[in-house]
């Protein structure tokens, strides 16, 4: 695959899974129309879910999932010591995703409830950057393959990559959707980072904020607006906490 | 001849999640043979507590990146059972089409990208790009179509966005439905070629008598709701799922184990086929014959074959459903939902077998208690017993460690385990 007449160097890539649903790495095998080109641009040397080949020599590590057990800390640190570049792929890897909820429950009680007198080793949820240094973060539950491809083009070919700075609303408007608020449904689109193409408002669900906060979100104004539209404080807070992407971002009323 | 064999596979590849295979044979005697699930526990059932019914399906979809549509549908069915909701006709069809999209997506991923390399002696599907580009292209076409179909009917393949309690969130645009229907028609040719590829697979000749559990078809090959049936003759209503699963905790696994009439049972494509083959589309039945699959099959490697048969069946059924949906035209997609205190159970056949959700709600429609029983959880004990039997079969043959390891890996892979799902 030549680009501007130059044969690019294929980076050696490892794809690694931690606690999560593995939906993010599955996206790497999607978008079949460009799958061949995507796979040819990389030399995938470690991808447990897709291949039996496994090498411990790679330049870029894509990490899917978060850390919830000590053996994962050891595995992650080893990966960090090998890879030149670590990419946190998905909301679990970026900020814990839905598994952030685990940090608000009593894990010992949960362990007893599920496993009775044979409790299993477990621990609080930590995002990848809470354990090792992360170079690139791509949130999303799941990540968008288009965004992963852009980042790969950037890393392999030096094509400039700009993080999305506008909220989901911009992409939702481009799809000519009727606003969820007009249909009486809560939507975090105005304060959530775009880049996904707004599938959730398009599907009728409304945005649940899986990509976390957009640049400079006006949380206070959003919350006032949602309250005025009749949504309860509890509902808004449950939604904001859902993927862990708004944790630590506060406003006067939160 | 004194035969010593060791298999020690840590983090089996080309499956979803983390599991190990361990076999130790000394002097031709199997000392140990087992399947261990080492995936990290996530505690979804506990996280569900206190959640509003509108978030339950969004949260539980994240149990699994492959069968998220199935989890969303099981969650919705459970909630609707608790609140006494009856969904409109259109929504019922759209949901079933979403389900079929997932089955096609998951089966094509497993059969063509993850299992096929074993039968061709390859470490993954990636080398196919150069040595058999037409096979790689065919696999990509089938999976791509399934993904676009799931996107159309569920809003998104991984973590659906239009499956809601009360109905569905949108009517798929007519033009896109017609397009997918025409592509499904064309894909039957690709499935014929896939059948020829699968016909050449050397399927290990290994059987172990097994109890198979699935939904019980009444008029159709069953996917969403209905009675529960086992090949040993157990027949129970959906709400008695606990008597069908009997989960228990063991030491060396973070997934639970399950049993019914025997020490273990199996769910999945082969169980559905064994229990409901008479409802298959004639062309799917022909494919079963062509690849040598006959009911009741007790060969676990036949899970792969049953997946192919289901792909053909589901493709035909989807074409019919899309035509029916187009004939129905635009109209009601969802009904208003009144939450109330109560309890509901929902069973759905997801790609890897029967999945159960069970919630208790308070007056405000918040979850008080939740239980999810995953297909792979139900299969884990059976996989482990199969490995034991496999080890015994090969204990006194001139098999090498590598050969035994490969065949044990292929056996586990045939079940298409969704390991992170099983440790939820
Ligand atoms: S971010 Fe979402 S899709 Fe990705 S692994 Fe986590 S739960 Fe799965
Ligand atoms: S539906 Fe949501 S994302 Fe779309 S415009 Fe309205 S608030 Fe923004
Ligand atoms: S619309 Fe919102 S919840 Fe949906 S993918 Fe985009 S950011 Fe995530
Ligand atoms: Ni699953």
Distance from the Cα of B277 to chain A's closest Cα (Å) equals 31
- Best probe of the A interface among B169, B248, B255, by most A CBs < 10 A, is B169
The answer on A213 and A149 residing in a single domain is: no
From the list B16, B43, B125, the residue facing A114 with the nearest CB is B43
Q: Which residues neighbour B24 within 8 Å (Cβ) at sequence distance 6 or greater?
A: B5, B6, B7, B30, B31, B32, B33
Distance from the Cα of B87 to chain A's closest Cα (Å) equals 16
DSSP A253: T
Distances (CA, A) of A38 to A44, A168, B87: 10, 26, 42
CATH code (residue A153): 3.40.50.700
Of the three residues A157, A184, A216, the one that is the final residue of a domain is A157
A163–chain B Cβ distance below 8 A for any pair? no
The answer on A75 and A151 residing in a single domain is: yes
Instruction: Answer whether residue A33 is part of any domain.
Output: yes
Instruction: Answer whether residue A200 is part of any domain.
Output: yes
Select from A99, A67, A102, A90 the least CA-distant residue to A212.
Answer: A90
pLDDT of residue A253 exceeding 60, the answer is: no
pLDDT (0 to 100) of residue A254: 40
Least confident range of A136-140, B188-192, B358-362: A136-140
Over residues B106-119, the pLDDT tens digits come to 999 999 999 999 99
Residue nearest to atom 2 of ligand 1 (CA): A141
Instruction: Answer whether residue A4 is part of any domain.
Output: no
The answer on A63 and A112 residing in a single domain is: yes
pLDDT of residue A252 exceeding 60, the answer is: no
Over residues A109-164, the pLDDT tens digits come to 999 999 999 999 999 999 999 999 999 999 999 999 988 888 888 888 788 888 88
The answer on A206 and A149 residing in a single domain is: no
What residues of chain A lie within 8 A of the CB of B162, using their CB?
203-205
If one counts the domains in chain A, the total is 2
Q: Is the preceding peptide bond at B296 cis, omega within 30 degrees of 0?
A: yes
Of the three residues A157, A190, A210, the one that is the final residue of a domain is A157
Of the three residues A113, A133, A157, the one that is the final residue of a domain is A157
From the number of C-beta atoms within 10 Å of its C-beta (0-12, 13-18, 19+), residue B36 rates as buried
The answer on A198 and A108 residing in a single domain is: no
Q: Which residues neighbour B420 within 8 Å (Cβ) at sequence distance 6 or greater?
A: A20, A21, A22, B16, B17, B18, B39, B42, B63, B64, B65
Instruction: Answer whether residue A52 is part of any domain.
Output: yes
The answer on A139 and A28 residing in a single domain is: yes
> How far is Cα of residue B56 from the mean position of the Cα atoms in its chain?
21
R_g (Cα) of chain A, nearest Å: 20
pLDDT of residue B377 exceeding 50, the answer is: yes
The answer on A139 and A248 residing in a single domain is: no
Put simply, the answer to whether A22 touches B123 (Cβ < 8 Å) is no
Instruction: Answer whether residue A39 is part of any domain.
Output: yes
The answer on A94 and A26 residing in a single domain is: yes
| Mean residue pLDDT across chain A | 91
From the list A21, A33, A238, the residue facing B420 with the nearest CB is A21
Instruction: Answer whether residue A234 is part of any domain.
Output: yes
The answer on A172 and A152 residing in a single domain is: no
A175–chain B Cβ distance below 8 A for any pair? no
Residue B320 Cα to ligand 2 midpoint, Å, equals: 35
The answer on A201 and A86 residing in a single domain is: no
Backbone angles phi, psi at A196, to 5 degrees: -100, -15
Ligand nearest to the CA of B62: 1
The answer on A148 and A173 residing in a single domain is: no
What residues of chain B lie within 8 A of the CB of A68, using their CB?
40-42
Over residues B27-66, the pLDDT tens digits come to 999 999 999 999 999 999 999 999 999 999 999 999 999 9
The answer on A113 and A21 residing in a single domain is: yes
pLDDT of residue A67 exceeding 60, the answer is: yes
What residues of chain B lie within 8 A of the CB of A52, using their CB?
13-14, 117, 123-124
Over residues B209-227, the pLDDT tens digits come to 999 999 999 999 999 999 9
Instruction: Answer whether residue A3 is part of any domain.
Output: no
In terms of residue numbers, what domain contains A151? 12-157
Residue A172 Cα to ligand 2 midpoint, Å, equals: 6
Distance from the Cα of A117 to chain B's closest Cα (Å) equals 9
What residues of chain B lie within 8 A of the CB of A110, using their CB?
43, 46
| Mean residue pLDDT across chain B | 95
pTM equals 0.95
Average pLDDT estimate for B180-192: 98
Distance from the Cα of A101 to chain B's closest Cα (Å) equals 6
Instruction: Answer whether residue A1 is part of any domain.
Output: no
């Amino acid at each position: 695959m030549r680009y501007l007449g130059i044969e690019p160097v294929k980076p050696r890539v490892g794809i690694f899974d931690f606690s999560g649903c593995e939906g993010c790495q599955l996206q790497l095998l999607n978008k079949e129309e460009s799958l061949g080109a995507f796979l040819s641009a990389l030399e995938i040397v470690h991808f447990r879910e897709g291949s039996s080949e496994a090498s411990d020599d790679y330049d870029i590590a894509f990490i899917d999932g978060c850390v919830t057990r000590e053996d994962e800390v050891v595995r992650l640190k080893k990966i960090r010591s090998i890879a030149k570049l670590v990419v946190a792929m998905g909301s679990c890897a970026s900020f814990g995703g839905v598994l952030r909820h685990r940090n608000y429950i009593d894990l010992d009680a949960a362990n007893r409830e599920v496993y009775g007198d044979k409790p299993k080793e477990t621990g609080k949820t930590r995002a990848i950057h809470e354990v090792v240094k992360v170079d690139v973060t791509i949130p999303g539950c799941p990540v968008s393959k288009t965004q992963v491809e852009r980042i790969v083009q950037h890393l392999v070919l030096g094509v400039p990559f700009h993080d999305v700075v506008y909220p989901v609303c911009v992409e939702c408007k481009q799809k000519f959707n009727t606003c969820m608020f007009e249909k009486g449904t809560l939507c975090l689109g105005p304060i959530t980072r775009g880049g996904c193409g707004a599938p959730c408002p398009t599907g009728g669900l409304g945005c649940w904020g899986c990509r976390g906060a957009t640049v400079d979100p006006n949380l206070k104004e959003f919350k006032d607006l949602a309250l005025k539209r009749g949504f309860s404080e509890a509902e808004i807070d449950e939604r904001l906490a859902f993927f862990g992407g708004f944790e630590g971002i506060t406003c006067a009323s939160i | 001849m004194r035969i010593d064999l060791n298999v020690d596979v840590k983090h089996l590849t080309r499956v979803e999640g983390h599991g190990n295979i361990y076999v130790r044979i000394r002097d031709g005697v199997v000392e140990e043979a087992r399947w261990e699930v080492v995936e990290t526990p996530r505690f979804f059932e506990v996280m569900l507590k206190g959640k509003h019914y509108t978030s339950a399906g969004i949260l539980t979809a994240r149990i699994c990146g492959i069968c998220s549509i199935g989890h969303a549908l099981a969650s919705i069915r459970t909630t609707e059972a608790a609140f006494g909701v009856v969904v409109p006709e259109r929504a019922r069809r759209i949901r079933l089409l979403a389900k079929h999209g997932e089955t096609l997506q998951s089966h094509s991923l497993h059969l063509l990208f993850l299992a096929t390399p074993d039968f061709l002696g390859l470490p993954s599907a990636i080398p196919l790009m150069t040595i058999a580009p037409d096979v790689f292209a065919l696999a990509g076409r089938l999976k791509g179509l399934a993904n676009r179909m799931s996107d159309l009917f569920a809003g998104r393949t991984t973590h659906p966005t239009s499956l809601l309690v009360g109905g569905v969130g949108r009517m798929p645009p007519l033009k896109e439905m017609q397009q997918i229907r025409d592509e499904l028609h064309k894909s039957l040719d690709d499935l014929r070629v896939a059948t020829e590829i699968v016909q050449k697979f050397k399927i290990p000749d290994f059987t172990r008598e097994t109890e198979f559990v699935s939904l019980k078809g009444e008029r159709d090959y069953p996917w969403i709701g209905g009675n529960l049936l086992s090949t040993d003759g157990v027949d129970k209503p959906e709400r008695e799922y606990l008597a069908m699963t009997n989960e228990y905790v063991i030491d060396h696994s973070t997934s639970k184990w399950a049993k019914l009439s025997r020490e273990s049972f199996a769910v999945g494509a082969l169980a559905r086929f064994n229990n409901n083959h008479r409802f298959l589309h004639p062309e799917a039945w022909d494919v079963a014959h062509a690849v040598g699959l006959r009911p009741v099959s007790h060969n676990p490697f036949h899970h792969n074959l049953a997946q192919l048969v289901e792909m053909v069946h589901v493709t035909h059924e989807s074409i019919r459903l899309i035509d029916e949906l187009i004939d129905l035209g635009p109209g009601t997609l969802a009904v208003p939902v009144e939450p109330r205190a109560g309890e509901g159970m929902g069973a759905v056949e997801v790609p890897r077998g029967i999945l159960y959700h069970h919630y208790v709600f308070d007056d405000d429609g918040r979850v008080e208690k939740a239980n999810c029983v995953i297909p792979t959880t139900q299969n884990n004990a059976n996989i482990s017993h199969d490995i034991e039997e496999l080890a015994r079969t090969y204990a006194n043959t001139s098999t090498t460690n590598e050969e035994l390891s490969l065949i044990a890996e292929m056996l586990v892979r045939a079940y298409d385990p969704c390991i992170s799902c099983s440790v939820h």
